[in-house]
Amino acid sequence: MTKTNWWCCCPATFLLAVFIIALGLPTTQVSSAIAQSSAEFDIVLANGRVMDPESNLDAIRNVGIREGKIAAISTRPLRGRTMIDAKGLVVAPGFIDLHSHGQDDENYRYKARDGVTTALEMELGVSPVAPWYAQRENKSLINFGATVGHIPAKMAVMKDTGTFLPRDNAMNRKATPDEIRQVTDLIKKGLDEGALGIGFGINYVPTTTRAEIFDLFALAAERGVANYVHIRDSGAVEPGSGVGALQEVLADAAGTGASLHVVHITSVCLRQTAICLSMIEGAARRGLDVTTEAYPYTATQTRLESAIYDEGWQEKFGITFKDLQWVATGERLTAETFARYRKEGGSVIGHSIPEDISRLAVGNPRVMVASDGLIENRQGHPRGAGSFARVLGVYVREQKALSLMDAIRKMTLLPAQRLEKVVPAMRSKGRVKVGSDADLTIFDPLTVIDRATFEQPALYSEGIRHVLVAGVFVVRDEKIVEGVKPGKGIRRTNH
Ligand SMILES: [Zn+2]
């Protein structure tokens, strides 16, 4: 907004007042109409510490929002119909979570209170794609989106009886050539419907051949989308190490030209995370489009009946029964309860990631923050509610493992850039910049912290003061705003 603009809105205000008076409206309505028309912006965030990871702006500014977009960033005072005093608070781009399994109202609330404005299901993905988007459109607190998933496609074609993850046919049996063709057709259909990429969890479908994965990477390359992959193995035991599994997908990316994003690097590479990060950095330096992410916790969570806990898990992960925690009750397992619960099926937490490994990945400026979160009926892993505030409170403020700007970049700009080549909507997210979407997270850097624990995972983060999605408050004064649904489906539009 320039000075010239400001002067030219005055006569308009005057004319509006004359017009309203001529209509004979009560004076209170007249003055409110005048106040509204003279406000330059819908919302002004005043005197906040604006941090933009793209321009590296880190300074006190006023931010004006109009029609869902950032319309001004200025040292000059701005006037809005809603004025928010952001003194002492950081004004950051809304956080983008590339790995968010919880895609319902319950989970979107935890996400919003953790500062997340866009939650994407990129690892497992979904199939079919179109109905998944339709179910959420105009009904969601925050933005949402998904890849088309190799696992859900394979479960449908092979008639697996598992719900969230495979538990029999897709896990134990090798797909026939005809089944592989059907899975590929479902993936192509999902891409035609705007899916954000292809999602893989090779570890959950271990009978999947390396040729099948290579062919699907070639499809991704042909369509220009990235592959989001939970790699084939985890841990250090050979054969079948995390390092070997990472080599498989790096080779497939090199051999096909496909882009690759390796999910939760710490939970697959464990004590070999440093070498895995070197492999990814080296591949990227030599021209491969490869990225990675981590959640800031020392434990994993998955289904106990899945292939992850097939024979040999203790040696692989360097843990035993007492390191496993049954989500439904919070109890630590024994050989007996392990056998019983594996038959029943359910979520289990595995305390297998050393703290120094977690710090190494969270502290690395190129490793994105992504939650892998899922809260179901207030149960789950605390990462579903606290990942982003935990990085800001524990790893930035308390441990000084990384700078605040680097942390914000890992939560906003890097995930936006991962997607923006094929998802134009992401070019206006992940930044505090004039013209960008007003998806903004306003937090107190001195108090921001996660509250969710392994015993009580369903606790909201603290210190995330306000959250806006497309210029609409979804969190205001640390409370969810009820009844608003500004979240939009994020899709590929140039397929
Ligand atoms: Zn995973």
Q: Is the pLDDT of residue 11 over 70?
A: no
Res. 12: pLDDT tops 80: no
* Rounded-to-integer distance, Cα 290 and Cα 134, Å: 31
- Residues 125, 132: Cα–Cα separation, whole Å: 10
Q: Say how many Å lie between the CA of residue 408 and the centre of ligand 1.
A: 23
Q: Are strands 143-149 and 198-201 parallel, antiparallel or unpaired?
A: parallel
pLDDT for 18 equals 43
pLDDT, mean of residues 320-329: 96
Question: Alpha helices of 78-118 — where are they, by DSSP H?
Answer: 105-113
**Mean pLDDT within 384-401:** 98
How many angstroms is it from 402 CA to the middle of ligand 1?
A: 25
User: Residue 483: pLDDT band by 50, 70, 90 thresholds?
Assistant: very high
Say how many Å lie between the CA of residue 168 and the centre of ligand 1: 18
- Per-residue model confidence (pLDDT) at position 444: 98
Q: What is the pLDDT of residue 163?
A: 86
What would the mean pLDDT of 88-112 be, rounded to a whole number? 98
- Distance from Cα 123 to the centre of ligand 1, integer Å: 7
- Predicted pLDDT at 306: 95
Please say if the pLDDT value at position 19 is more than 50.
Answer: no
Q: What are the tokens at 107?
A: 């989970």
Residue 131 has pLDDT above 70, yes or no: yes
| Beta partners for residue 332, in sequence order | 325
482 CA → ligand 1 middle, Å: 32
Largest Cα separation within the chain, whole Å, is 85
Residue 295 pLDDT > 50: yes
What is the chain's mean pLDDT, rounded? 93
Q: Which residues pair with 472 in a beta bridge?
A: 469
* Distance (Å) from CA 281 to ligand 1 centroid: 21
How far away, in angstroms, is 301 Cα from ligand 1 center?
A: 9
Ligand 1 centroid – CA 372 distance (Å): 7
pLDDT mean over 284-311: 96
Residue 10 has a CB neighbour count (10 Å cut-off) of 10
Q: How far is CA 223 from the centre of its chain?
A: 23
d(CA 101, ligand 1 centre) in Å: 10
Q: Determine which of 161-165, 281-285, 341-345, 479-483 has the lowest per-residue pLDDT on average.
A: 161-165
pLDDT at position 29 is 40
Query: What pLDDT, on the 0 to 100 scale, is given for residue 31?
Result: 39
Task: Name the H helices within 54-104.
Answer: none
The fraction of the chain above a pLDDT of 70, given in percent, is 92
**At 494, is the pLDDT very low, low, confident or very high (cuts 50, 70, 90)?**
low
Please tell me the predicted confidence (pLDDT) of residue 493: 86
pLDDT score of 7: 34
Tell me: the pLDDT tens digits for 51-68?
A: 999 999 999 999 999 999
Pairing between strand 290-294 and 324-326?
Answer: unpaired
Distant-in-sequence, close-in-space partners of 247: CB < 8 Å, separation ≥ 6? 279
pLDDT of residue 153: 98
pLDDT value for 495: 61
Q: What angle do CA 125, 129, 134 make, to 5 degrees?
A: 120
CA of 20 to the centre of ligand 1 (A): 60
Would you say the C-alpha torsion 59, 64, 65, 71 has a positive or negative sign?
negative
Is pLDDT of 239 > 50? yes
In terms of Cα–Cα distance, which of 395, 393, 326, 398 is closest to 365?
395
Alpha carbon of 267 to ligand 1 centroid (Å): 8
Separation of 111 CA from ligand 1 center, angstroms?
A: 18
With beta carbons less than 8 A apart as the criterion, state whether 234 and 269 touch: yes
Percent of the chain with pLDDT over 90: 91
Residue 33 pLDDT class (50, 70, 90 cuts):
very low
214 pLDDT exceeds 50? yes
What is the pTM (predicted TM-score) of this model? 0.91
Determine the distance separating the centroid of ligand 1 and the alpha carbon of 1, expressed in angstroms: 46
Distance 134 CA to ligand 1 centre (A): 25
